[in-house]
Amino acid sequence: MGSVDYDPEELIEAYFERGWSDGLPVVPPTEKSIAAMLAGAGLRGDETIGEVVERGVIVSAEKLAINAVMAGCRPEYLPVVVAAVRGLCHPHFAYHGPASSTGGSAMVLIVNGPLAGRLGVNSGNNAFGQGARANATIGRAVRLVMMNVMNTRPSFLDRATLGTPGKYSFCFAENESEHPWEPLHVERGYRPEQSAVTVYASNSLCQVYNQLAAAPEPLLRCFADVLCNLGTPNLRGFNQSLVVFAGEHADTLRRSGWSKQDVRRFLLEHARRTVADLKRAGRRPGEIEPGDETTWKHAFERLEDILIVCAGGQAGSWSACLPGWGNKWTRSVTIPIDTRGGPP
Amino acid sequence: MKLFDPTSTPRERAITLAPRLRDLRGLRVGLVENTKFNSDVILAKLGERLARQHGMTVSRMIRKRSPSHAVAEEAADELRRISDFVVSGVGD
């Protein structure tokens, strides 16, 4: 805590100068706003939220709250930030790889359950875009914690070659009211009335367009094609991807009667390349040999490595595929949100 | 208004280096393959060269789950038991 008095404008510059910002102006914290933030999650400042063992980093509630204030969060958002940071610290997430690698991943936060609606986490139109404070600031708070507490600073322990704009913030809610199936957190063992956040590392986002297909098979062929494009990471094994169905695509699947597993089976079967394709693109070593043109390699080994959620507006023929880090390096983690701080 | 430091300092751990080897002749070398592309190839070649030049034997090459995961405790114990020293490699 510094003891120098600053004007508000100077204070914002002081956070920039010390390298404590993500490149955007931060909201300068005060004792009052930090206390209010902690109260939003019913936390004491000295509580431990999580630990990144390999970095010797402990995330305290106080530091979490300071970063959440800086990000522009309202106090009632803090339970979501806490759950997301616990997800980052979970051994299955294996933080160091996705946080540090040249792949430059966004930490995608998928919020489920009634809390999402109460906090105004956008699940509808422009769910991945700008305009919703909860989406923008929850994701930003998590990134600031990564930078300031977990030492994940660009060119230091964040070695992203390009990175992605999603590294500023990437948080959205599932559109549970128009979902063709059970939402993600229910699929993962939580009750519908519970709230949870899923943390998933992804280095890119490809929107999938199809305005004509009115049945699952032709529609899903577009997704399968995107999921196995030759530049996809982990195409040689361990692949894990997130598929976000929106609008008319979700409606087509709902009306078809296909289950989530049916969709996964179709994608697993059709997301594949020939060995010859992979060799021509240098994704496998060696010369093309007889049989390579008819020998297929599937992009996924297991159905559960295709994560399916629904979000976005009702209108439009757009969905998205977000390639992940693969099940070997990191796994998406779903953490229940503790709202012991009280309403909402 | 005051500045509030949002950063944390990582805990420092004391790491003791293993004693340096005085003579390489006839030692048993363990290899830790981190799963990066060609990591196994490089380590295998290294093992062959150490055997040829220093009369070493490769005790075992173990494979980590991923580069960012630690060596499994059981595998680490085994390597300690059957090796005089260990080489961990990175490919790509």
Cα–Cα distance for residue pair A44/B23, rounded to 1 Å? 56
Q: Quick check: A57 and B4 CB within 8 A?
A: no
Q: Which sign, positive or negative, has the C-alpha torsion A256, A259, A264, A266?
A: negative
Whole-model pTM? 0.91
- CB-side neighbour CA atoms (13 Å) of A269: 9
Cα–Cα distance for residue pair A140/A142, rounded to 1 Å? 5
Q: What pLDDT digit, counting tens, does each position of B33-67 carry? A: 988 888 899 999 999 999 999 999 999 999 988 87
pLDDT above 90: residue B25: yes
Burial code of A106-141, b = ≥16 C-beta within 10 A, e = fewer? Answer: bbbbbbbbebbeebebbbbeebbeeebebbbbbbbb
Which of A66, A97, A330 lies nearest to residue B6, judging by beta carbons? A66
Strand order in the sheet with A241-245: A206-209, A318-323, A241-245, A306-310
For chain A, strand residue ranges (E) read 48-52, 57-60, 106-112, 171-173, 196-202, 206-209, 241-245, 272-274, 296-298, 306-310, 318-323, 333-336
Q: Is B22 on the interface with A (CB under 8 A)?
A: no
Q: What pLDDT digit, counting tens, does each position of A268-324 carry? A: 999 999 999 999 999 998 999 999 999 999 999 999 999 999 999 999 999 999 998
Q: Is A36 on the interface with B (CB under 8 A)?
A: no
* Phi, psi at A246, each rounded to 5°: -135, 165
Cα–Cα distance for residue pair A155/A169, rounded to 1 Å? 19
